[in-house]
């Protein structure tokens, strides 16, 4: 059964205006947290199958991998994010179902988040299939809130590039962000109708350091992202539903498109129109940004198939 919030349902959103605070001695933040002249790193790519299957990421390493979950309920000088515990609990359950090792961190400061990421990428992840990072917090266009201050999204993305974590090079890094990206409201539009080369195994080659990263935002730049205090956010709940129902059948990008469709079509809320004495219906549109170079299919892994056949 598809979820649809009634027009009078109460929802909150994860947007707060703020300015970035810089640490002492910190240089001015550049727009993109990678070198201006992008280099590549020579790696042996253990992440792909050989033969005709090399279009898919290898999901049969000894370990699925770690899922780092940064959940924020209490943020300094910001509204409490009621309902985020429902997102946390459900995403943990789904990630365990997909054989990940969830590690949950609550209300961390900016420096604590960066230290955890630094320590993680320094470890050996040769035996891992991939990495998942989930961030649930307040935000703005290109920034996220830690407990004590805001930080650019690029600070997060820059930690997992191939040069920073060589043992995850060639493997998918999946990042899911539940946060507002501005203060605009999407009032939607009514539709009348809707029309219905192979590489040899074992060789070394070069890949871009920014390859194999996928980021899915709960909303597009400039717009708010909704969260129910009693059910959780539209985006995380939809993502969990689609992963639970379709991980064994579809490639990840197809699952994420189903997630975007679920949020866009089956969720809505109402708000007072500032210019008129009435209410308007508001919507939400998630966004996928991907440099994945292979298909990612959880259902093709032997560990997942064995579980289903039990």
Q: Tell me the mean pLDDT per 10 residues along the chain, length 310.
A: 43 58 41 39 44 79 98 96 97 98 98 98 97 97 96 96 94 97 87 43 62 97 95 98 97 98 95 78 96 94 63
The pLDDT value given to residue 15? 61
Span between the terminal Cα atoms of the chain, in Å = 26
Asked if 165 and 118 touch (Cβ cutoff 8 Å), the reply is no
pLDDT for position 188: 82
Quick one: pLDDT at residue 299? 87
Rounded to whole angstroms, the Cα distance separating 276 from 273 reads: 5
Q: Model's pTM, two decimal places?
A: 0.81
Tokens for 42?
Answer: 């020579």
pLDDT at site 187: 82
- The pLDDT value recorded for residue 279 is 86
3-state secondary structure of 16: coil
The residues assigned a catalytic role are 138, 180
d(CA 99, CA 64): 6
The CA distances from residue 275 to 45, 68, 136, 189, in Å, are 57, 43, 32, 19
- 12-17+38-308 adopts what CATH topology? Rossmann fold (3.40.50)
* pLDDT value, residue 43: 43
């Amino acid at each position: 059964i598809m979820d649809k919030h009634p027009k009078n349902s109460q929802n909150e959103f994860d947007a707060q205006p703020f300015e970035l605070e810089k640490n002492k001695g910190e240089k001015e933040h550049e727009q993109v947290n990678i070198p201006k002249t992008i280099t590549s790193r020579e790696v042996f790519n253990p992440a792909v199958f050989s033969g005709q299957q090399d279009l898919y990421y290898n999901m049969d390493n000894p370990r699925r991998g770690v899922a780092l979950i940064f959940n924020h309920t209490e943020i300094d000088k910001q509204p409490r994010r009621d309902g985020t515990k429902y997102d946390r609990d459900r995403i943990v359950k789904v990630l365990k179902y997909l054989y990940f090792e969830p590690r949950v961190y609550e209300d961390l400061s900016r420096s604590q988040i960066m230290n955890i990421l630094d320590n993680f990428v320094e470890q050996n992840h040769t035996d891992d299939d991939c990495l998942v990072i989930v961030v649930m917090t307040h935000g703005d266009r290109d920034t996220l809130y830690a407990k004590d201050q805001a930080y650019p999204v690029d600070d997060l993305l820059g930690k997992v590039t191939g040069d920073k974590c060589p043992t995850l090079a060639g493997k998918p890094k999946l990042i899911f962000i539940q946060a507002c990206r501005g203060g605009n409201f999407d009032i939607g539009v009514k539709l009348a109708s809707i029309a219905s080369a192979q590489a040899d195994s074992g060789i070394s080659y070069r890949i871009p350091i920014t390859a194999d990263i996928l980021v899915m935002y709960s909303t597009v730049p400039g717009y708010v992202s909704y969260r129910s205090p009693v059910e959780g956010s539209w985006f995380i709940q939809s993502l969990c539903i689609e992963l639970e129902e379709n991980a064994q059948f579809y490639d990840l990008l197809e699952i994420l498109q189903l997630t975007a469709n679920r949020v866009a079509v089956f969720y809505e809320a109402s708000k007072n129109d500032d210019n008129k004495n009435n209410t308007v219906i508001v919507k939400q549109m998630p966004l996928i940004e991907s440099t994945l170079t292979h298909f990612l299919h959880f259902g093709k892994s032997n560990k997942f198939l064995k579980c289903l056949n039990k």
